[in-house]
Amino acid sequence: MVRSISSSLKALVVCAGLSAGMLAQAAETSVWKDVQKAGVLRCGAAVAAPYVMRDAATSAYSGYFVDLCRDFGEKVLKVKVEFVDTNWDNLVAGLQSSKWDLAMALNQTPERALAVAFTVPATDYQVSLLVNKDNPKLAEVKDDIAALDKPEVTFAVMSGTAQDKAISSVVSKGKIMRLPGMDEARLAVMSKRADVLVDASDTNHLFALANPDWTREILPKPALAKQGVSFGVRRDISPADLQVLNIYLTQRRETGDIQRLVDQASSEANALAK
């Protein structure tokens, strides 16, 4: 009798474990299977160069996250790719309500992680520095932020921004020139009223590509306000589905493909701005 009861209890435990596993599996969504069934991958597109850009005349999308989304859909999932116009206020909400399957170019933040899941970063956002490569005050400076923090060095930054907060947290000896807009900050460095331009790495990269004759980019160490820039996906995506996209992004990043797409998109953004 005791053995019978023991065997029955063990069987119940096994069944309960199997049931729990089946329920957990059922709670996960097979996103790619649904996408392949529909025949289209929908990518939520909020414009921000060089990640996502839209031609005003043709409504055609470009940018390196657009390139990645199109390539993943067409070559991995073997489906058509559709870009759904939205804005940054609605990008996460649209993903949650299944208006699109992927949200492009989301900075990884704890607050967003409460609402969506993230892939591995395609690129990294951080605050970078841009200097005149002929400036004798900065000739020996490489990427050490402490080496720039000197009384004779002036940092130009847009007042009240995340960049302002980041540079203010590490500069105690240098001067910080807070200006009302990024155009003013760039002009201050171009005119040599300031020595260092403080901005997001992607926009500083755009500016450097447009002015290669005199600019030098610096990614300071330790990094300032560094965050991964990823695809956002629904939180109930299955681990297997998430792994598919993660492997794709990791391989393209490690081979340098993504950096080439970034440079190409940055050049395009500069051309459109002229």
Residue 19 confidence (pLDDT) above 70: no
% of the chain surpassing 90 pLDDT? 69
Going 203 to 209 to 212 to 216, the CA torsion angle's sign is positive
pTM metric for this prediction: 0.73
* pLDDT tens-digit map of 191-225: 999 999 999 898 898 899 889 999 999 999 889 98
Mean pLDDT of the region 226-232: 94
> CA-CA distance, 148 to 150, in Å (whole number)?
6
**180: cis peptide before it, omega within 30°?**
no
User: How far is the first Cα of the chain from the last one, in angstroms, to the nearest whole number?
Assistant: 87
Give the pLDDT score at 175: 97
Give the pLDDT score at 202: 85
* pLDDT tens-digit map of 161-177: 889 999 999 999 999 99
* pLDDT tens-digit map of 21-32: 444 444 556 899
Tell me which range, 129-133, 161-165, 180-184, is most confidently predicted by mean pLDDT.
129-133
Residue 66 region, left (φ>0) first, then alpha (ψ -120 to 50), else beta?
A: alpha
Identify the bridge partners of residue 131 per DSSP, sorted by sequence position: 196, 216
In one-letter notation, the amino acid at residue 203 is T
Residue 274 confidence (pLDDT) above 70: no
